[in-house]
Amino acid sequence: MINNMNSIGFKNFRQFRDFPTTKLGPITYLVGKNNSGKSTIVKALLLISDFLKSGEMREFKFGNNVLEDANIVTFGRAKTASAEESLIAFETKVSNYRIEIQITGNDDDTNARVLNFLVEDLKSRFFFRVEPHSSRIYFGQGKTGDFIKEEEVPEFQMKTEIRRLEDRIRFSNLKKTDKEYLRLVDQLNSLKQKQNLFESNNEEQYEEYLNREMENIPENFLLDMPINWSYSLKENLEAAQKIAVHMHDVEFRNAQLNENTSSLFDEYRGFYQKKDDLRRSFEEYFESIQELELFYLGANPSKQSGLFTIRDKGNALSQSIHKFYQLGVFNNKGSESYRFLKKWMGKDGFDIGEDLTIKMYGGEAYDVKIKNGDGELSLADKGMGSIQAMLLLFRIASIIELKKSSSTNTKIIVEEPELNLHPNFQSKLADLFFEVWEKFDIEFIIETHSEYIIRKSQVIVSEKQLEDSVNENPFKVHYLDLHQSPSIYSIGFDSDGVLDRSFGSGFFDTAADTNLQLLKLKRIRNKQ
């Protein structure tokens, strides 16, 4: 799935001062001890996704109702306790676009302030960057590191730009030894020198500056425009491009008439030659974000109850049954989503039953019965493992149904799917995830403590020769440990499905250690 979020990195977020950019696969397992940071990755993905889809430019929200699963609430809870500055930075990749978001705020703020928001097309190197504090959008190609350059400020903007830089230096909290402070001072001094040149009587120098080769189109360009806060991000970029085309036409006409052109003429020319590709790049970015869909399936222990009431918002199974029913899946038994559910609740799956019936009572509650042979048994009377498996199946079946009627690129985050499941059924979860990815093009991020899921994934890699053929190996395994550096490392597969690196202590080695202890105890008893 090319449009899904396929990497994540951050600084000063939760437990991590510096979490390295980590690639995500179609099926990514996050493995580690409790409190190792697995949930932090999930929270970062949820927050970033919500921000990107909101179209916001100024605010990064922690208290949004949509983000209940992130459970962060304030900037203070999000920021690393040992952070040296009040700054959190996120980085991700969606399709071909690299995205950086820097935010700041006070500890009690539920909405952090966006400092910088950068989107770069890695293929074309087109980019845009929003700077809310200066109310400017920079866009261009190939100059993402240089956002304010003195040679790009036209004469009529010179005094305004000088005043703006002077204000930024005067009112910032930067130390005089900070790199950012020194950079701003250098820009200010260069602008003042250029202003002196324009205001001098040295006409020869001035003409030499203006008379550049008309046929040399700049390889890269960088332009900035004021933000109109009554516009959306997309509308601001569209307006900026229209203004750039207009300014190019004005400047080009002046050049043809041998009249003075501004110092931005080269930038306008560079933009004009690539305006169609630039517009297409930005449009594809917004399409990618619009199509991005992230679902979070938390590890909610299901309740055993006779009826599943719609109003019980705290009962994940009730809400999943309600969603499944309202989507019409139950009444369309020929649909792929229903066939998926029926297959995986059967003997080849989690052996829950052959089929099911759902009845609604008074528009308030559902009664779910599982069919086996000629009999029926209420789902509430099944074991906790079966109930937990049905919760997962209802949720995934509903997502399959939703994806069928849309062009969304779907990723499902699943927390501890092995909860209450027998080891044999835990291993079958790997088959389930692989089938859903292969058949329905739905990706997964899975927080797990189950070695059985990982082991079965190894078998799938070997059986299907995923490391030896043109077929994609969708599995990625990341192990997290806050006590090592780096705090996360990837574990790959060889052609036989064998992992190329060992897990940290307390995972695969636990069973072996237990067996060794038993053998030692047996030897001791035999000697007595």
Six token digits for residue 423: 């080891």
- Three-state SS at 267: helix
Q: Write the CB contacts of 221 (distance below 8 Å, at least 6 apart in sequence).
A: 140, 141, 143, 266, 267, 268, 269, 270, 271, 274
- Euclidean distance between CA atoms 487 and 11, whole angstroms: 13
- Euclidean distance between CA atoms 55 and 46, whole angstroms: 15
pLDDT of residue 214: 44
- Euclidean distance between CA atoms 84 and 90, whole angstroms: 16
Q: State the residue for tokens 């909610």.
A: 300
pLDDT of residue 152: 41
DSSP annotation of 354: S
Name which of 508, 501, 454, 410 is nearest 30 in CA terms. 454
Give how far Cα 54 sits from Cα of 48, 58, 207, 289, 482, Å: 10, 11, 48, 10, 32
Six token digits for residue 250: 């004005």
What are the φ/ψ torsions at residue 503 (nearest 5 degrees)? -75, 165
pLDDT of residue 397: 96
pLDDT of residue 486: 81
Six token digits for residue 137: 């959008």
- Euclidean distance between CA atoms 46 and 43, whole angstroms: 5
Q: State the residue for tokens 């400020």.
A: 153
- Euclidean distance between CA atoms 483 and 464, whole angstroms: 36
- Judged on CB neighbours under 10 Å (0-12, 13-18, 19+), 364 is exposed
pLDDT tens across the length of the chain (528 residues)? 455 789 999 999 998 999 999 999 999 999 998 888 899 999 999 999 999 999 999 999 987 655 566 677 889 999 998 888 899 999 999 999 999 999 999 999 989 999 999 999 999 999 999 999 889 999 999 866 444 433 444 444 566 567 667 767 776 677 777 777 777 787 787 777 766 655 554 555 545 544 444 455 667 888 889 999 999 999 999 999 999 999 999 988 888 887 777 778 888 888 999 999 999 999 999 999 999 999 998 877 666 667 889 988 878 899 999 999 999 999 999 999 999 999 999 999 999 999 999 999 988 999 999 998 878 999 988 988 999 999 999 999 999 999 987 777 899 999 999 999 999 999 999 999 999 999 999 999 999 999 999 999 999 999 999 887 777 899 999 999 888 888 889 998 988 888 888 876 666 655 555 556 666 666 777 776
pLDDT of residue 449: 92
DSSP annotation of 499: B
Q: Write the CB contacts of 278 (distance below 8 Å, at least 6 apart in sequence).
A: 124, 126, 139, 141, 241, 271
Cβ distance 23 to 471 under 8 Å?
no
Give how far Cα 341 sits from Cα of 258, 291, 396, 519, Å: 73, 25, 8, 44
Q: State the residue for tokens 């994540």.
A: 8
- Other C-beta atoms closer than 10 Å to the C-beta of 494 total 13
pLDDT of residue 495: 85
Six token digits for residue 528: 């007595």
Six token digits for residue 32: 């580690």
Six token digits for residue 357: 């019936």
Q: Write the CB contacts of 196 (distance below 8 Å, at least 6 apart in sequence).
A: none
- Judged on CB neighbours under 10 Å (0-12, 13-18, 19+), 457 is buried
Domain extents for the chain?
Answer: 302-406
Cis, bond preceding 218 (omega within 30 deg of 0): no
Nearest-Å Rg of the Cα atoms of the chain is 29
- Euclidean distance between CA atoms 281 and 73, whole angstroms: 34
Six token digits for residue 67: 């983000």
Q: State the residue for tokens 């020319």.
A: 269
- Three-state SS at 427: helix
